[in-house]
Chain A
Amino acid sequence: MFIDARTLDTNTIVQTDICIIGAGAAGISLALEFIDSRFDICILESGGLEYDDDTQALFDGKNTGFPYYDLEKLRLRYFGGTTNHWAGACRPLDVIDFEKRDWIPDSGWPITRAQLDPYYKKAHAVCELGPYNYDPAVWEGIENPRLPFKGDRIYTAMFQASPPTRFGAVYRDSLEAARNISTYLYANAVNMETSEQGDNIRSIGVTTLDKSVDFTVRATQVVLATGAIENARILLACNRQNPAGLGNRNDLVGRYFMEHLSLPGATYLPSSEDIPMGLYKKQVNNGTPAKGYLSISPNTQRADKLLNMRAFILETTEIDAMHASIDGLHALDDIREIMNNGSRDDDLAPHVSRAMTDFDDILVYSYRKLFRRPGRRTPYYLYYHVEQAPNPDSRVGLSDETDALGMPKVELSWKFTGLEKHTIDRATQIIAEELGYSGLGHVKKVVHDPDTGWPSSFRGLRGAWHQMGTTRMHDSPANGVVDADCRVHGINNLYIAGSSVFPTSGYTNPTLTIVALAIRLGDHLEWKLEKGIQ
C-alpha cells in the first residue's frame, strides 16, 4: 500500500516491525524480502513516485575537498532512488577486496566473499542479470576471445549489465500489493529518538516537506537506507540527545568517504588491426549484456602494493586519444568551464599558462581535427576505475546551513592518500609491460600535471558516481560504525543498508553488493524478529 504522508493527521503514530528509511536499491531490496511475510514493514520515502525539484533540493550541500559532482544532482530523491538513473553495470567485489591488505590501512571486511556469494546470487535476480558467473570463458568465443597474455600480472575480467533495473518502476506493483508493506511517500525522517541509555531507537520523527504533517514511527527494528552521504548526514544530525549524533561515539560516522577514481589512464595501440577486441565491447550472450576489461591480478596487487583497479578498453579515434594526452587541451576545457560556470576554480592564470605551454600540440591537434579522415579508428583508451584507499580525513560532515526541513546540509571533503597515484602509475606500467611482453601492442601514458602529480586527464570532476564508506563495517566499535550484521555498534535495533557500510570499495560498481547486503540483512532481521530479539 502506498500512502501520501501529506494526507495523514498530524501526530499519527505508525507502529511496525521494521521501518526502512529510504526506497532506493537497498531499501527496496530489503522490503522485497518481506513481501507477504508475517511482519509489518513501513518504508519512509522522502520523495514521491516522480522527480520533483523541491524534494531533490534537500540533497544540496557543499564540497570543500577534491572537486566533486554537484551533490544535489548526484543522487535522486524519489521512489527508486538513484536506480532511477543508474547505468546498470554489475559485478561482485573480488575476493581480495574483502581481505585485510597490509599495505592498505583500515582494509579488511569482517565478512568474506564466500559468505556473501549466496546473496550475490539472489541479487542477480533482483537486478535482472544473467547467471552468477563472471568467468570470461562463459562470454568469449572463437570470434571474440580474450587477449592472450603471456604473463599472469593482468587478466581479463567481466561485468554484466542490468537492463538497468529501475527499482521504483519494476518493484512498485509488488510492494504496493503486499498486504504487510506500507510505503509512505513524501515522508522525511528528521529525527530518531533513543532510549535513555542510547541503546535503542524508540521512535522516528517524520515530517513532510511543507511541514504540514508531523508523525511518528515506532519500530522494533530500524534500517537506514538513504545512500552513503545521506546515511551519515542523518546519523550526525540526530544529535538532540547526543551532540555527536547516533552511533558516533568514536567519531567515525561520515569518515572514510570513498569514490572510484575514474579517468582515461593511458592510450593503447594494438600491434595489429587483427587483434580481436570483441570481448571488450558490450555484447549480449544468452540475453545478458556483458563486457570485458583488464584488471591487475591479486598476486601482483600484493607484490606491488596496489589498490584494485580495472581498465576498460574503449574504442576511440586518434583525435580523441590526442585530446586525452595533451594537457593544454585539458587547460582549455578548464578555461571553458570557468567561463561558463564560474566554478571549479576562480583563477584562470594557471590554466592559460598550461595552454600556452602546449600551444604547439594544440595547433597540431586542431589541424588534425580539421583534416582528419572520417571514421578512422586506431588507438584505444585504457579507461580506469581505481579503488580509493580508506581515508579517515575523507569525510561527510554537517555544514552550518540548513535545508527546508531545518536539517543541517552536508559538507563533503573528498580526500585521497598517496596509494591512488601509486596505483595509477604502477598499474599503467604493468599493463604496458604485459601487453608488450605478449606482443599485443604499446601503451602511451597520460601526461601528468607537474603541480599535482595526477594524470592531467584527472581534471577534477572524476568520480564514478559511487559514494561509499561513511558508516564502515568492522567487528570493533573502535574501527567501525556497524558490525558484520550491519547493526550500528551500541544501538540494538538500528541497522544501515547500502554502500556506506563498505570498509573498502574495490573498483566495481557498488549496486550489486548493496543489493546482496540488503538481502543478507533481511535474513538477519527475519531471524531476529522470529526469535523475538530486541
Chain B
Amino acid sequence: MPISRRRFTALVPAVAALAALKSGIMYGSSRKRDDQSTTLVSYLPRSTSACTLGGIYLRDNPQEADMLLLEKQILNNSSLRQDFHAATGNSQHAMLKSLVRRDYKSGKTVMLAGWVLSQTEARLFAMTRLKYPE
C-alpha cells in the first residue's frame, strides 16, 4: 500500500526527534573516528531521531545521498575545508557551530517534521542516516 506524504510525516516519531534535539547531541558526544571516509563522521549525532530526520531530508533531496558530497556541501569552499582539516577537535566543533549559526542568520534553513533546522544541521543528520542506516 503506498504511503502518502502526510501519513509518512505522521509516522515520524516527533517525541524522539524532540528528545534528540534536547539532548544536545547535535554534534555527537562520541568522537571515535571509526570512519575516515569523511572528516565530519566524528561529529555526527548518533540517535534514532537524527536518522529519522536525516531520512526525511534524503527523501526530499535524494541527489545528496552521498557522504562525501554532503561533507563538501557543508564545508562548501576549499579554504573552509582546509581550515577545518587543519583544526583540532574543539576548533572543528566551533567551526561547525559557526556554520550552523551562519545558516540561521542567512535564512538557510529546512523544515524536517516541523523542526526548523539549519541546512548544515540537516545535512549532518542526512550523513547520520547514511552512516547508520539501521
Please report A residues at the B interface, Cβ cutoff 8 Å.
Answer: 150-151, 267, 269, 271-272, 318, 321-322, 325-326, 328, 357-361, 364, 368, 378-379, 428-429, 432-439, 442-447, 450
Contacts and interface: CB of A to CB of B under 8 A. Distances in A.
B114 A447 contact: yes
B7 A357 contact: yes
Given A325-B14, A357-B6, A433-B105, A445 B118 contact: no
Interface residues of B, number: 26
Contacts of B11: 360-361
Output the residue of A150, A360, A437 with the most chain B CB within 10 A: A437
Given A151-B105, A445-B111, 4 more contacts: A433-B104, A436-B104, A436-B109, A445-B114
Given A429-B109, A445-B114, A445-B116, A322 B101 contact: no
Contacts of B86: none
B100 interface: yes
Given A151-B105, A357-B6, A434-B104, A443 B97 contact: no
B18 A318 contact: yes
24 contacts: A269-B21, A269-B22, A318-B18, A321-B18, A328-B10, A361-B14, A364-B15, A379-B18, A379-B22, A429-B107, A432-B116, A433-B107, A433-B116, A436-B101, A436-B109, A436-B117, A437-B101, A439-B97, A442-B115, A442-B117, A444-B114, A444-B115, A445-B111, A447-B114
B24 A437 contact: no
Contacts of B89: none
A428 B116 CA distance: 9
A436 B104 CA distance: 6
Output the residue of B11, B24, B114, B118 with the most chain A CB within 10 A: B114
B83 to A, nearest CB: 21
B10 A360 contact: yes
Contact of A436 (B13, B18, B111, B116): B116
Nearest to A328: B10
Contacts of B6: 357, 450
Contact of B15 (A318, A435, A437): A318
A432 B10 contact: no
A151 B106 CA distance: 11
A357 B10 contact: yes
Contacts of A361: 10-11, 14
A433 B22 CA distance: 17
Interface string B105-125: 101010101111110000000
B90 to A, nearest CB: 16
B24 A272 contact: yes
B24 A269 contact: no
Contact of A443 (B100, B105, B115): B115
A326 B17 CA distance: 14
B10 A358 contact: yes
B45 to A, nearest CB: 13
Nearest to A446: B114
A442 B21 contact: yes
A379 B15 CA distance: 11
A150 B101 CA distance: 10
Nearest to B102: A437
Interface string B4-33: 001100110111001001101000000000
Nearest to B100: A436
Contacts of B97: 439
Interface string B21-58: 11010000000000000000000000000000000000
Contacts of B100: 436
A437 B115 CA distance: 15
Contacts of B7: 357
A202 to B, nearest CB: 61
Contacts of B105: 150-151, 433, 437
Contacts of B109: 429, 432-433, 436
B114 to A, nearest CB: 5
Contacts of B118: 436
A357 B100 CA distance: 34
